[in-house]
Amino acid sequence: MFQIRLARGDIGDAKAGRAKAAMCEACHGLNGVGLRPDVPNIGGESDIYLVAQLTHFRSGERQHEQMSIIAEGLSDEDIENLAAWYSSIQFSVTLPP
Amino acid sequence: MFQIRLARGDIGDAKAGRAKAAMCEACHGLNGVGLRPDVPNIGGESDIYLVAQLTHFRSGERQHEQMSIIAEGLSDEDIENLAAWYSSIQFSVTLPP
Average pLDDT, chain B: 91
pLDDT at A1 over 70: no
Interface check A97 vs B, CB under 8 A: no
Long-range contacts at A77-81 (CB < 8 A, ≥ 24 apart): A77/A12, A78/A20, A79/A12, A79/A50, A79/A51, A79/A54, A79/A55, A80/A11, A80/A12, A80/A13, A80/A17, A80/A47, A80/A51, A81/A12, A81/A13, A81/A14, A81/A16, A81/A17, A81/A20
Q: What percentage of residues in chain B have a pLDDT greater than 70?
A: 91
- pLDDT value of residue B68: 97
Record: contact B41-A92, CB cut-off 8 A? no
Chain A nearest-CA distance from B72, in A, is 18
- pLDDT value of residue B83: 97
Nearest C-alpha in A relative to B91 = A93
Q: Closest partner residue to A41 among B33, B44, B88, by Cβ?
A: B44
pLDDT at A3 over 50: no
- pLDDT value of residue B53: 98
pLDDT at A4 over 90: no
pLDDT in tens, B20-52: 999 999 999 999 999 999 999 999 999 999 999
pLDDT in tens, A30-52: 999 999 999 999 999 999 999 99
Average pLDDT, chain A: 91
pLDDT at A10 over 90: no
In this prediction, residues A20-38 reach a mean pLDDT of 96
Q: Closest partner residue to B91 among A8, A41, A88, by Cβ?
A: A41
How many CB atoms are located within 10 Å of the residue A17 CB? 24
Residue A93 β-bridge partners = B91
Interface check B1 vs A, CB under 8 A: no
The separation between CA A74 and the C-alpha centre of its own chain, rounded to angstroms, equals 12
Q: Closest partner residue to A43 among B88, B89, B93, by Cβ?
A: B93
